[in-house]
Amino acid sequence: MPRSQHRRPALAHPEPDEFDVLDILHALSDPTRMTIVRTLRTAPERACGTFPVDVAPSTLTHHFRVLREAGVIRQREDGNRRWTALRGEDLQARFPGLLDTIVAAYESALKRPR
């Protein structure tokens, strides 16, 4: 198949009733992934290469996969770009208040002196 016709496999996104709280907690246990989530709370959708993180592209891809497979984010392809959005409504419906509580606790911890 010519390169121009090669399609990437479809991205897997769990349905809200498939969300597992332990997968979500694991996904939100990493500072880079929390930066992604906090960034998406202020922007409805963002291109993958525009997040304020200092990691290699392959590492960032891994973080997106962990968040996506847990149900925290949704990604879509648009040409040669991949766009990322927070699944806030789905998370709120499945686990009311969980995301807000975790983000608030994380932000509070960032403000504490070490």
What pLDDT is attached to residue 92? 97
Residue 80 is classified by DSSP as: T
102 φ/ψ angles, rounded to the nearest 5 degrees: -65, -45
Answer whether 0.75 is exceeded by the pTM.
yes
pLDDT digits (tens, 9 = 90+) for 76-112: 999 889 999 999 999 999 999 999 999 999 999 999 8
pLDDT digits (tens, 9 = 90+) for 15-68: 999 999 999 999 999 999 999 999 999 998 999 999 999 999 999 999 999 999
